[in-house]
Amino acid sequence: MKTVRQVNTVCMQGMKRIAFCVCFLYLCAMEKQIRAFIFDMDGTLLDTESLSFRSWRIAGTEFALSPRQTEELNRKCMGANESSIRRILEETFADSAKASQFMRRTSQLFSSMEAAEGISLMPHAREALEHLKQNGYRLAVASSTHGDTVRRQLGNAGLLGFFEALATGDLVRHSKPDPEIYLLACSRLSLPPCECAAVEDSPNGIKSAKAAGLFSILIPDRIKADAQLIKTADALYSSLRELEEHF
């Protein structure tokens, strides 16, 4: 006769096997269901956010903002389109003219940095896109950045050709976390949201993708993932390389 400890051990082993099987079957079903990946651009495919943060920090000093105020303001605007950023800045400065001046200054600084340094790819970006493409997944972009900028930056990085559809900030009325941009991307792929996965680095992006009904994959960049964000996302990866491991 088995002891209580032996029975517990057997039960625990059985539960682990069941949990593994459930997890395995879920992943298999997920892989069969997902037909397309829709990527955020800034901080997910391209390391634009390091340049953005530096340009905002310089502009913040020029506009008498403390480093903490500038960082919080930059965080609020991360993932937002131009009209939403303008609204946030107008609320911050309580002055539409000053908000416009701040936007122009950050844009000037960013453009100067981009021209001088270029924009780096996020780690494993090209390899992940090549892997997904080779395995038959369709690819699209959902970026709050203006379409002309998205095409230029992805083109300069040699990534534009991977994508068959672009949904950009100038094409939607409501910015992330509203689901509009992801619904537009799905529409341009002629696929329902349940057959698409979103790859994002920001809270606003994950909220947008989840609200649209996509499977959401979080790969944090500048914003550290807190418990609530991890709970909201369907999957948490450390880098784009994990896409190659799971799909």
The mean of the pLDDT values for the chain is 88
234 flagged as catalytic:
no
Q: In the predicted model, is pLDDT for residue 187 greater than 90?
A: yes
Lowest-pLDDT range of 16-30, 92-106, 182-196, 224-238: 16-30
Lowest-pLDDT range of 42-56, 68-82, 189-203: 68-82
* Tokens coding 80: 């937002």
Q: What percent of the chain lies above the pLDDT cut of 90? A: 74
Is 60:69 a contact under the CB 8 Å cutoff?
yes
Q: Say what the pLDDT of residue 82 is.
A: 84
Q: Say what the pLDDT of residue 111 is.
A: 94
Banded pLDDT at 22 (limits 50, 70, 90): very low
The side-by-side arrangement of strands in the sheet containing 138-143 is: 165-168, 138-143, 36-39, 196-200, 215-218, 235-236
Mean pLDDT over residues 94-117, rounded? 95
pTM confidence score: 0.82
Catalytic entry in 40, 42, 178, 201:
40
Q: If 0-12 CB within 10 Å is exposed, 13-18 middle and 19+ buried, where does residue 236 land?
A: middle
Instruction: Give the whole-angstrom CA distance, residue 192 versus residue 155.
Output: 27
Q: In the predicted model, is pLDDT for residue 14 greater than 90?
A: no
Q: Say what the pLDDT of residue 148 is.
A: 96
Nearest to 78 by CA among 184, 240, 222: 222
Is 246:227 a contact under the CB 8 Å cutoff?
no
* Tokens coding 159: 């990534």
* Tokens coding 206: 């994950």
Reduced to 3 states, what is the DSSP secondary structure of residue 138?
strand
Q: Count CB atoms within 10 A of the CB of residue 51.
A: 22
141 phi, psi to nearest 5 deg: -125, 140
Banded pLDDT at 227 (limits 50, 70, 90): confident
Is 222:56 a contact under the CB 8 Å cutoff?
no
166 phi, psi to nearest 5 deg: -125, 130
Q: How many residues does the chain have?
A: 247
Cis peptide before 177 (omega within 30 of 0): yes
Is 149:86 a contact under the CB 8 Å cutoff?
no
